[in-house]
Amino acid sequence: DIQMTQSPSSLSASVGDRVTITCRANQGISNYLAWYQQKPGKVPKLLIYAASTLQSGVPSRFSGSGSGTDFTLTISSLQPEDVATYYCQKYNNAPTFGPGTKVDIK
Amino acid sequence: EVQLVESGGGLVQPGRSLRLSCAASGFTFDDFALHWVRQAPGKGLEWVSGINWNGGSTGYADSVKGRFTISRDNAKNSLYLQMNSLRTEDTALYYCAKAGPSFWSGYTDWGQGTLVTVSS
């Protein structure tokens, strides 16, 4: 089975900072990767699919990159409303979520 | 507007069964694959099961294979999850999620979830 890891598990950054979250698969998954944002007490929201395609309505400060085994989610300028846990997911053949990265404001 | 409304959760003893439902509206139901995703209290997301547009293809996480059965009724715009031989580790909030244009796609829309508690 393909396992997904994320780093860091949590981070604290200032408003306006550039934030990068890494997701790694232990086998190649091409670009079958999505990123979700889950705010406290809320339902997950799709941010990015196909590793780098921004879902409609998602602010352009979010971006994704990578292919194969290594992927990143970048928030170019962190905003207070971005406080959330972010999950990566490989979504082909037995979808698997990463363990999540909790993002807070410093 | 896409709406997914789960129901059927509750408190159940280990070894018993429960059937979850998800009522969908706001989109052409039989154009999309659907999935169940769960989240144990304070934990991360776990894919449980998925079904393609006509029910002809299904998938299950190893943790539920042989115990859970996913199905859909396109005439009723409804998705189901039959859960048998429930275990305490099945305790979670169960979300219904609509996939993108193919079976293996990101999940564009989610319901609010229904809570399943397995306890004696």
pLDDT, mean of residues B11-22 = 98
Tokens 């809320």, residue? Answer: A42
pLDDT digits (tens, 9 = 90+) for B45-90: 999 999 999 999 999 999 999 999 999 999 999 999 999 999 999 9
Instruction: Indicate yes or no: CB of A99 within 8 angstroms of CB of B112.
Output: no
Which of B37, B100, B112 lies nearest to residue A49, judging by beta carbons?
Answer: B100
B-chain residues near A98 (CB < 8 A): 44
Which of B35, B44, B95 lies nearest to residue A100, judging by beta carbons?
Answer: B44
pLDDT digits (tens, 9 = 90+) for A11-69: 999 999 999 999 999 999 999 999 999 999 999 999 999 999 999 999 999 999 999 99
Interior angle at CA B16, CA B14 and CA B19, nearest 5: 125
pLDDT digits (tens, 9 = 90+) for B39-51: 999 999 999 999 9
Residue of chain A whose alpha carbon sits nearest to that of B93:
A43
A-chain residues near B62 (CB < 8 A): 1, 94
Looking at chain B, which runs of residues are DSSP E strands? 3-7, 10-12, 18-25, 34-39, 45-51, 58-60, 68-73, 78-83, 92-99, 107-110, 114-118
Whether B62 has its CB under 8 Å from any CB of chain A: the answer is: yes
In this model, does residue B105 exceed pLDDT 80?
A: yes
